[in-house]
Structure 1
Amino acid sequence: MEKAVLHPYLMFEGNCREAMEFYKGIFGGELNMMTFGQVDNSCPAAIRDHIMHASLMGGEIDFMGCDTPKPGPLAGDKIQLSLSGFDEAGLRKKFTQLSEGGTITVPMDKQVWGDIFGAFKDQYGIDWMIDVRAQ
């Protein structure tokens, strides 16, 4: 049986295009986006240019996203994206890039379990954990 692939699907409140372009600048890959207006010409003008579906594939990380069609707060804080590996310099760079404009909740530092770990909420409200695995 072929292994299934899990892609995080990020939900935004009107700034999906900006966020996905930001992530593309960090992770690379091919970014494709489709607006609500491209899919349904009769959609409300307020969401016509909002992103109905975006995919960032072929870079260091693959993920998808969209703008929520309904205004109001999202039911977030249930999922965090975790980026881990052995490349300390590379992962520290990702931490710095992704946390820019956001809120660091755990600075990158050596932890009691031996790994170097940090956590933050990025400028788009997405929670991240970066873990440099102990050798």
Structure 2
Amino acid sequence: MTTRLNPYLSFRDKAQEAMDFYHSVFGGELTRSTFGEYQMGDDTEKDKIMHSQLLTESGLCLMGADTPNEMEHTPGMNGSISISGGDEAELRGYWDKLRDGGVVSLPLEKAPWGDSFGMCIDKYGVNWLVNINGTPAA
């Protein structure tokens, strides 16, 4: 069995909306379970997302959940999610969708090392790095 590193995002009452957004960006299969399905939490949390997982045909995996009310939730994260590869059309498509409604920190353009690179924060406060393989700088 292959070992994988899977980003897991935490939200406050926005997991369903956010994961639907990422599904629209990356495609694939999105599954989710609510706290109510497992008789967890109180009645005010029964419809919140306990766990969701997005798996794409290209092997991407992104997980997310709502943070229960009794737990502290600090928006943002100490890091970024990086997507890289050689399929320029695919990666630019992700970039365009991720930055829509968000903030571009660094435009997606040719970088000194020869790749195209950009950074943005999506409308849910998640930091994204997109790197498209290019020709190494001379």
Taking structure 1 as the reference length, the TM-score comes to 0.88
Aligned match of 1:90: 90
In the alignment, the residues of structure 1 paired with residue 67 and residue 125 of structure 2 have an alpha-carbon distance, to the nearest angstrom, of 14
Aligned match of 2:44: 46
What is the CA distance between 1:64 and its match in structure 2? 1.1
Q: How many residues are matched? A: 133
What is the CA distance between 1:89 and its match in structure 2? 2.4
Aligned match of 1:134: 134
Question: Is the partner of 2:112 in helix, strand or coil?
Answer: coil
Gaps of 5+ in 1: none
1:107-122 equivalent positions in 2, closer than 5 A? 107-122=107-122
Note the alpha carbon deviations across 1:26-80, whole angstroms, 9 max, x for none.
2122111111111116x22222211000011243321211011136542633121
1:25-44 equivalent positions in 2, closer than 5 A? 25-40=24-39, 43-44=41-42
8 Å Cα contact 1:30/1:56 also seen in 2 = yes
Bigger mean CA deviation after superposition, 54-63 or 14-23: 54-63
In the alignment, the residues of structure 1 paired with residue 109 and residue 56 of structure 2 have an alpha-carbon distance, to the nearest angstrom, of 30
8 Å Cα contact 1:27/1:59 also seen in 2 = no
Could you tell me which amino acid in structure 2 is paired with residue 99 of structure 1? R
In the alignment, the residues of structure 1 paired with residue 73 and residue 105 of structure 2 have an alpha-carbon distance, to the nearest angstrom, of 21
Could you tell me which amino acid in structure 1 is paired with residue 127 of structure 2? D
In the alignment, the residues of structure 2 paired with residue 134 and residue 58 of structure 1 have an alpha-carbon distance, to the nearest angstrom, of 24
Note the alpha carbon deviations across 1:4-29, whole angstroms, 9 max, x for none.
11111111111111111111122122
Q: Percent identity among equivalent residues? A: 38
Question: Is the partner of 1:5 in helix, strand or coil?
Answer: coil
